[in-house]
Amino acid sequence: MISLQPLANLKPASLYFHRFSSKPRTKFKPITIHSLLQYNRKPQLAGDTPRVVVITSGKGGVGKTTTTANIGLSLARLGFSVVAIDADVGLRNLDLLLGLENRVNYTVVEVLNGDCRLDQALVRDKRWSNFELLCISKPRSKLPLGFGGKALIWLVEALKAREEGAPDFIIIDCPAGIDAGFITAITPANEAVLVTTPDITSLRDADRVTGLLECDGIRDIKMIVNRVRTDMIKGEDMMSVLDVQEMLGLPLLGVIPEDTEVIRSTNRGHPLVLNKPPAIAGLAFEQAAWRLVEQDSMKAVMMEEEPKKRGFFSFFGG
């Protein structure tokens, strides 16, 4: 488990930010914006398929479901077959974000009870037919006794054995917290994307979750820093992405800015990455998906060391 000294003795926020922003930094290096220039090629899929990726955070409300929907659909748009599993049993909402709520007739619970076949529980997206949604249970329903990690391992094996072949990616939207639902959701995963916001409560939970993931044998953990506000970082009211990375010590998959379009798209059931023209957070999710495919990561940059007059692409590292 990564030891996080700063988290052990939390200080008042003002001291905290001062401490981080006053550190001597290495000189700013110009960034090459690779990803935005890469769209004339298909990303190279790294690692064995299906890649089973759990999207987790510890703290609730930091953007796991938003990340699952947007990264999942970005992967589908890049040409990969994707099954997104909503493992947030109590507070299922991935179907709402995807605008697929009216098409979920069966769930994994019915499949396990023998009431329907697996393909009946898979909801194929009409916009991207290589994207399918699978919900564990009906909203507000209780899971059958004994439902746990083994059931999800069975599910992954059943998805691999489908006639049409195994999907390239199985993405699991994890519930908040670190109790049974979390353990169940991470059991079949080989890799994890940890979503955090740049605040101390989210970081503490993220650190705890990192330790639990490592205990479970998941060593490939990358992080997404969500709801980043450059104006607040500049005013030293928010931790910088570099500070977050130094604290958690995880490779950075993406930095997603705070963007009102996220809320609008959530309410419309139309994931951001499908927006035309693209929203800034949508572009950031697309780039994160690209890095996920290639098992790549990005570098955080210090805002105060950036040259003046940088455009909005300054969110994206090289």
Residue showing tokens 């044998």 = 217
Contact call for residue 65 and ligand ADP (CB under 6 A): yes
Task: List, in order, residues 6 or more apart from 46 with CB less than 8 Å away.
Answer: 293, 294, 295
Name which of 57 and 240 has its Cβ closer to ligand ADP: 57
Distance from C-alpha of 271 to C-alpha of 267, rounded to nearest angstrom: 9
Q: Tell me if 54 is assigned to a ligand binding site.
A: no
Name which of 131 and 315 has its Cβ closer to ligand ADP: 315
Do residues 251 and 297 lie in contact, with contact meaning Cβ atoms separated by under 8 Å?
Answer: yes
Q: Find the part of the chain contacting ligand ADP (CB under 6 A) among 9-17, 76-84, 236-244, 253-261.
A: 253-261
Q: Tell me if 32 is assigned to a ligand binding site.
A: no
Do residues 45 and 78 lie in contact, with contact meaning Cβ atoms separated by under 8 Å?
Answer: no
Contact call for residue 197 and Mg ion (CB under 5 A): no
Question: According to CB under 6 A, which residues from 262 to 291 bind ligand ADP?
Answer: 262-263, 266, 281
Q: CA angle at residue 297 from 299 to 278, to 5 degrees?
A: 90
Q: Tell me if 61 is assigned to a ligand binding site.
A: yes
Report the DSSP pairing between strands 252-257 and 220-228. parallel
Name which of 43 and 198 has its Cβ closer to ligand ADP: 198
Applying CB under 5 A, among 35, 56, 65, 226 the residue interacting with Mg ion is 65
Q: Which two tokens stand for residue 113?
A: 């009870």
The three-state secondary structure class of 105 is coil
Name which of 63 and 188 has its Cβ closer to ligand ADP: 63
Task: List, in order, residues 6 or more apart from 32 with CB less than 8 Å away.
Answer: 318
Contact call for residue 202 and ligand ADP (CB under 6 A): no
Name which of 51 and 64 has its Cβ closer to Mg ion: 64
Q: Find the part of the chain contacting Mg ion (CB under 5 A) among 12-20, 56-64, 223-231, 286-294.
A: 56-64
**Can you spell out the DSSP letters for 272-315?**
GGG-SSPPHHHHHHHHHHHHHHHT--B----GGGSPSS--GGGG
| Residue 60: CB minimum distance to ligand ADP, A | 5
Contact residues for Mg ion, defined by CB under 5 A: 64-65
Give the residue numbers of the binding site for ATP. Answer: 59-66
Contact residues for ligand ADP, defined by CB under 6 A: 57, 60-66, 176, 226-227, 256, 258-259, 262-263, 266, 281
Give the residue numbers of the binding site. Answer: 59-66
